[in-house]
Amino acid sequence: MSNNKTIKSALISVFSKEGLEPIVRELNAQGVTIYSTGGTEKFINELGINVVPVEDITSYPSILGGRVKTLHPKVFGGILNRQNHDGDVAELEEYNIPQIDVVIVDLYPFEKTVASGASNQDIIEKIDIGGISLIRAAAKNYADVICVSSVNDYNEFLELITLKKGELNDDDRQRFAAKAFNTSSHYDTSIFNYFNKDQDISALKISETNGKVLRYGENPHQKGFFFGNFDELFTKIHGKELSYNNLLDVDAAVNLMHEFKGEAPTFAILKHNNACGFAQRETLYKAYIDALSGDPVSAFGGVLISNSEIDKTTAEEIHKLFCEVVIAPSFSNDAIEILKGKKNRILLVLKDIELPQTNVRTCLNGVLVQDRNTVSDTIEGVKNATTKSPTNEELEDLIFASKICKHTKSNTIVLVKNKQLSASGTGQTSRVDALNQAIHKARSFNFDLKGAVMASDAFFPFPDCVEIADQAGITAVIQPGGSIKDQLSIDYCNDNNISMVFTGTRHFKH
């Protein structure tokens, strides 16, 4: 495509003036007629550059407190006319409408205003009407007009008009049109989601303007992308680019460790979205050592996360392990230097922000959306189901195990002793298989399960699991309860001196 057109006129109406001056000066140097209004017109005048007020075109002042400035046929006629259409050209001459070749707009900051906690009235006033209309009009008529729709595009536009001396082609205009519709659709999505925050309208609007191409998807033959503001959640201080699978593991790690925020030093090692090592101790060093001992085989190539600063001593131990990612709220300077010893190892500082409150995933030819599972089991919230009550130490282990269980693939059984993950059975088609897997794994790493506790993500329909657990030495159980055959498991526990508590909350994770 070619269809080169030289810019002769420009309409500029922006919220953010940052980076605008060099554009205005370049347009002026190229002899471009500049139209503007309001604060932007004042800004250009103060630069000593000639600018034509929009009111001189429309013969109408800015009215309604600035709500109506550019919404006029003489403005939109100048943008929407087809320059190769004789009828359009004749009407421009008949009604004395100037041709507009460039529209530069930066919208009112609606999202930032919402995020600031402003009043509803202030938020409503930040819904841009004229600007969004100018963007849509200019982008629609990209055959003749180029639209700069965001402060984020100022630099690219300046480079373009400087390099090409204002003579742009169809490819240039169409690329900026796509950017413009990206801007307008994102803006409208934000407004809709604000008005629909109670979800009275069953519609899903998601817009992420921060996108990144990944090396590949889950496997090398699949394309992969990440859409979102990663830097809002993390500061990356070292390492290679994160892969699709890295990101999934990081997501699982962050959600799991969120359960232990503000608690004693806690360390987790994850592989394929599940914890393979987990421990809480009086020091982070001990927590890491005991987390690693839970499954030193699976830890190879894993994702590591702590709930407190990683110090030099802990970093020296971590450095002995090949791991993909290390996450912490902070790292000591010595720890950073040690862990940077592997050039590809990714080091992430987790910022203290709220996690998203909804989960979204594709399903069939649509999308599934649900509330994030924010319910965590507590000592105060459990109910004794058996004659024997768990000891205080067992109760703490039960809650510890339940939190891990909540973030492990179903069906799952989690075994814990002294706030250390002994083993878990993950993603099994039956709960009995999950339990047998956990017991086998614990024994393979020489864990003594006598006095350990067991957590289940869902109820036991039969007493087989508590029977198997009893034979392995487990003395306390936490589960949701709710089966019509709960009494069978309760009776077995009562007959065999096992304590069991019900939470009333299922924690499936698929």
User: What is the model's pTM?
Assistant: 0.86
Query: Which parts of the chain have pLDDT scores under 70?
Result: 1-2
- CB contact set of 478 (below 8 Å; sequence gap of 6+): 377, 382, 398, 399, 401, 402, 453, 454, 455, 456, 500, 501, 503
Q: Is residue 485 annotated as a catalytic residue, yes or no?
A: no
Chain Cα centroid distance, residue 256: 16
Strands 346-350 vs 323-328: parallel, antiparallel or unpaired: parallel
Instruction: Give pLDDT, residue 362.
Output: 92
Tokens of 96: 């004395």
Number of Cβ within a 10 Å radius of residue 392? 9
Instruction: Give pLDDT, residue 55.
Output: 86
Axis crossing angle, helix 73-80 with helix 130-140, rounded to the nearest 10: 30
Cα angle for residues 295, 301, 303 (degrees, 5° grid): 80
CB 179 within 8 A of CB 172: no
Instruction: Give pLDDT, residue 2.
Output: 64
Percentage of residues of the chain with pLDDT beyond 70: 99
Which single residue is written with the structure tokens 């796509």?
A: 178
Which single residue is written with the structure tokens 């030093």?
A: 265
Measure the CA–CA gap between 77 and 97, rounded to whole angstroms.
7
Amino acid at the residue 433: D
From 8, 17, 140, 286, the catalytic residue: 140
- CB contact set of 34 (below 8 Å; sequence gap of 6+): 9, 10, 12, 24, 27, 28, 44, 49, 50, 51, 52
From 186, 205, 236, 272, the catalytic residue: 272
Instruction: Give pLDDT, residue 86.
Output: 86
The closest of 155, 6, 3, 138 to 79, measured between CA atoms, is 138
Residue 340's alpha-carbon distances to 13, 177, 333, 438, in angstroms, are 48, 43, 11, 35
Measure the CA–CA gap between 401 and 398, rounded to whole angstroms.
5
- CB contact set of 78 (below 8 Å; sequence gap of 6+): 9, 11, 57, 92, 97, 98, 99, 100
State phi, psi for 274 to the nearest 5 degrees.
-120, 145
Measure the CA–CA gap between 44 and 27, rounded to whole angstroms.
12
CB 266 within 8 A of CB 283: no
Q: Is residue 140 annotated as a catalytic residue, yes or no?
A: yes
431-465 residues labelled b (16+ CB within 10 A) or e (exposed): bbebbbbbbebbeeeebebeebbbbbbbbbeebbb
